[in-house]
Structure 1
Amino acid sequence: MCNINNEIIYEISEDSAAEYTMPIEEGLNDFNDLITGISDRKPLNILIKSNKTGKVIGGMQGRTSLGLLFVDLFYLPPELRRNGIGTEILRRFEDEGRKRGCSAAFLYTISFQAPDFYKKHGWVEFGRIECIPTGTSRIFMKKTL
């Protein structure tokens, strides 16, 4: 009988290089594809670029998979907030999710970030976990597309 514990090494790492993360991502994706028979995951990014430099200065990133739209990150520089740009980014993101066949969307935000922004656009809180600093929460939200 083989002792698997003699054949592996446990390592804690803060390195997010692809050589470390891709075997995990690909392994889970392969498992999901085998079980569901569906391989439809695609990244989705809505980018905001500077007119002057062409560099990305903000936007939204996420993905679609198995009929769900996931918002992973959303950032706008402070000077671009409160003038409709965020609303337009979110609208385009959701529209692309619908085009890809998604029926629902999911995200989490932090209580000091933008939960009211999402609520204003039809997102509904379905969970909350307290975190630090004291009085702060991770807020999980969903939206039917």
Structure 2
Amino acid sequence: MSAFAEDNSPEFAELAKQKIAEFNALHWDAGKRQALGLKQVNAAGELVAALAGRTFGNWFYLESFWLAEAERGKGTGSAMLGQAEAIAKARGCRYVVLDTLDFQARPFYQRHGYQVEWIQQDYPFAGGNKYFMTKSL
């Protein structure tokens, strides 16, 4: 058996994603996948809130959601999440899926109606957990 060449470059990672996308295109129209991104900047032009994901078919995949410490507890996160869910619903999505770690935002998502579907234990380290959560829109 041949040795495999190691390639940890971002370009190779993108190429691997592209190859999967090409295969998937044989089975569904991935062109209907749409990015969904929201941001808020302060008066100085600094990013203070960011939400990014994508919609496809029945699902909104919430990939990244971040708030600056100064924005937490002010309702910014709840408002941004609500707006993203509304956009996803208007695009025909019926569900949201996301993942979050122990030290991130599981209680926040639970307050907004998300349910833990599965826990990946000992992630990213022993004693840690990654929670996969969903919500019906």
TM-score using structure 2 length: 0.88
How well do the aligned residues superpose, as a CA RMSD in angstroms? 1.9
Cross-structure match for 2:6 = 11
Cross-structure match for 2:113 = 122
The count of corresponding residues between Structure 1 and Structure 2 is: 136
Residues 106, 140 of structure 1: 8 Å contact kept = yes
Written as runs of structure 1 = structure 2, the 5 A alignment for 1:5-84 is 9-13=4-8, 15-16=9-10, 19-52=11-44, 54-84=45-75
Residues 38, 66 of structure 1: 8 Å contact kept = no
Q: Take 2:48 and 2:113, find their aligned partners in 1: how far apart are those partners?
A: 26
Residues 94, 136 of structure 2: 8 Å contact kept = yes
Unmatched 5+ stretches in structure 1: none
Cross-structure match for 1:90 = 81
Cross-structure match for 1:142 = 134
Residues 124, 130 of structure 2: 8 Å contact kept = no
**Which runs of 4 or more aligned residues in structure 1 lie more than 4 Å from their structure 2 counterparts after TM superposition?**
none
**Given the superposition, is the C-alpha separation of residues 20 and 12 from structure 1 closer, same or farther in structure 2, using an over 3 Å criterion?**
closer
SS at match of 2:89: helix
| Range with bigger deviation, 109-118 or 25-34 | 25-34
Who wins on radius of gyration, i.e. which is larger? Answer: 1
Offset at 1:47?
Answer: 0.5
Unmatched 5+ stretches in structure 2: none
Q: Take 1:100 and 1:109, find their aligned partners in 2: how far apart are those partners?
A: 24
